[in-house]
Amino acid sequence: MQLPLFEAVPNFSEGGDSAKIDRIVDVVSAVPHVRVLGLHSDPDHNRSVLTFAGEEGAVLDAAVALAKACLREIDLSSQTGEHPRIGSLDVLPFVPLEGATLDDAARLARSAGERIGALGVPVYLYEAAATTPNRRNLADVRQGGYQGLAARIQDSIWQPDYGPSKLDPRTGAVVVGARPFLVAFNAYLDTSDVSVARAVASKVRERDGGLPGVKALGLLVGGKAQVSMNLTDLETTPLHVALDAVRSVAAEHGASVESTELVGLAPLETVLQTARYYLALRDLDERHVLESGLWKP
């Protein structure tokens, strides 16, 4: 039996200096039994998103090593970026993969938070790892960015979960948490009218009475209306169900889906669901996939 696997998806405040980014990523790759699964660096937002995975101990060690590297390499006070941020290592979510639960990921987040706090930086726990309701929502913790946090860190309800109650302007604070696995799935419409994307998003998202486990926003991206979705309950709402809904609501507005994209990773099961549904391949499972037999540990 394999040990439970976790993913970490740290966001750090450097998106342009590739030598610096490489040094930070190398620290993670150097940890035995850790797999770097992806890196997306965005110079405009001066921000990078790294994805890595492994067993609990390996992911924990890599996350702490990453935090050290970010605190050493990134001087928040000397740089700018469009994206609101509060720290050199800005956000560090842990995600349960195979064999792991959200509670396991929350436990891992707290262990990481404790060790990162001990490096001398304030740490806030969010979402499934939060210690109080007002910290569950990441946007609330980061409200106002570095300046906003600096103004309220002395309030008793904003005492950090770990580390000092004092911000160093070079490193700021770190928000560490646990969240379920999600698939980021965007649909581009054949219109530049963002109001169509917004209408579709509002119709399909769970919050407004749409599909379970679907968050959605209407955006304008590269001149095209985009329905940007996060799918968090793929068993109930697989990609094809979400897309069918987008296609059908878009059609009511005279629009159609031109193409879609995955941002980041999707589990193999997501692709198998699609083949099961469209090809009527009732019994299709992982064991039918050649690479699964060749690669699986």
Considering only the stretches 21-29, 133-141, 205-213, 254-262, report the one whose residues sit in contact with a second copy under the rule CB under 8 A. Answer: 254-262
Could you tell me whether strands 224-231 and 11-12 are parallel, antiparallel, or unpaired per DSSP bridges? unpaired
Phi and psi dihedrals of 191, rounded to 5?
-150, 155
DSSP 8-state assignment for residue 17: -
Site string for a second copy, 63-102 (x = CB under 8 A): ----------------------------------x-----
Instruction: Give whichever of 207 and 287 is closer to a second copy, judged by the CB atom.
Output: 287
Instruction: Give whichever of 94 and 126 is closer to a second copy, judged by the CB atom.
Output: 94
In 157-212, the DSSP E strands lie at: 174-178, 183-189
83 is catalytic: yes
- How far apart are CB 53 and a second copy at their closest, in Å? 6
CA distance 175 to 278: 41
Q: What is the dihedral of CA 79, 80, 86, 90, to 10 degrees?
A: -80
- How far apart are CB 118 and a second copy at their closest, in Å? 30
- Window 206-245: residues binding a second copy (CB under 8 A): 239-240, 243
Site string for a second copy, 21-50 (x = CB under 8 A): --------------x-xx------------
Check 33, 40, 45, 83 and give the catalytic one: 83
- How far apart are CB 189 and a second copy at their closest, in Å? 11
CA distance 267 to 62: 22
**CA dihedral sign of residues 187, 192, 196, 202:** positive
CB-count burial class (<10 Å; 0-12, 13-18, 19+) for 156? exposed
Binding site for a second copy (CB under 8 A): 5, 7, 35, 37-38, 53, 97, 187, 239-240, 243, 257-262, 264-268, 271-272, 274-275, 278-284, 287-297
